């Protein structure tokens, strides 16, 4: 039996990029089969030795989180989209193209009540603010499995698995309403040897990449089966 431990490392570099790494480690007795795959063995103490990363235990064994920001058009900000109809933005687009368009019947965002989305957009644009910084958060889950990566959720909204008993999604603390899109995966097959060095099986070291949405979630029409 292995002594399973999950560790968390939270790092930030000089540029402000924050990375959180979770590692699921299995500690095996020195005597007996380690059932390992080309593992690096590190003496931990008199009783246990650690099999780094490439242990042959099935399941999720690690995760990494990368966060950054990118620029998006100001009119796509979640606070400006909420409660706004297509007609509202149609008028704003028509006004931006030609303020004297007769179909507008002298409508102008300048005279709208303070706090309406079109008025906010108009005021921001008058100040030269046309974009805002949108957080981009990527979670990569690593797992050892009996088969190649499962592609059935690729491109769809899904819930990333836990790492051991840690719910990584909850631990990050993103706004309520955030959802995750599986945006990539890869797998590497490796031969598994027993304590005697004989080939016992082939395991797949798979990784799954998930990208977090904004606070309103990924569009369910576009990103569900």
Confidence of residue 218 (pLDDT cuts 50, 70, 90): very high
**Half-sphere exposure of residue 161: CA atoms within 13 angstroms, side-chain side:** 13
Secondary element (H or E) of residue 201 = strand 199-212
Indicate the range of 56-60, 169-173, 216-220 predicted with least confidence. Answer: 56-60
**Predicted pLDDT at 184:** 95
Using an 8 Å Cβ cutoff, are 91 and 101 in contact? Answer: no
How much is the pTM? 0.62
Q: What is the mean pLDDT of the chain?
A: 75
Secondary element (H or E) of residue 42 = strand 40-43
């Amino acid at each position: 039996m292995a002594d399973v431990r999950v560790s968390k490392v939270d790092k930030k570099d000089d540029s402000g990029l924050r990375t959180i790494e979770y590692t699921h480690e299995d500690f095996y007795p020195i005597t007996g089969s380690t059932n390992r795959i080309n593992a690096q063995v590190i003496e931990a103490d008199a009783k246990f030795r650690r099999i780094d990363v490439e242990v042959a235990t099935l399941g999720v064994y690690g995760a990494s989180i990368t966060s950054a920001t990118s620029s998006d058009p100001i009119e796509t900000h979640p606070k400006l989209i909420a409660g706004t109809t297509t007609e509202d933005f149609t008028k704003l687009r028509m006004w931006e193209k030609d303020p004297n368009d007769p179909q507008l019947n002298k409508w102008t965002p300048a005279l709208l009540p303070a706090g309406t989305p079109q008025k906010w957009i108009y005021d921001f644009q008058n100040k030269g603010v046309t974009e805002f910084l949108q957080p981009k958060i990527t979670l990569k889950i690593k797992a050892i499995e009996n088969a190649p990566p499962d592609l059935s959720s690729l491109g769809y909204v899904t819930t990333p698995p836990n790492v051991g008993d840690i719910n990584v999604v909850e631990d990050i603390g993103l706004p309520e309403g955030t959802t995750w899109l599986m945006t990539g995966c890869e797998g590497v097959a490796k031969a598994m040897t027993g304590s005697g060095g004989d080939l016992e099986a082939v395991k797949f070291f798979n990784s799954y990449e998930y990208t977090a949405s904004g606070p309103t979630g990924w569009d369910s029409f576009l990103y569900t089966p």
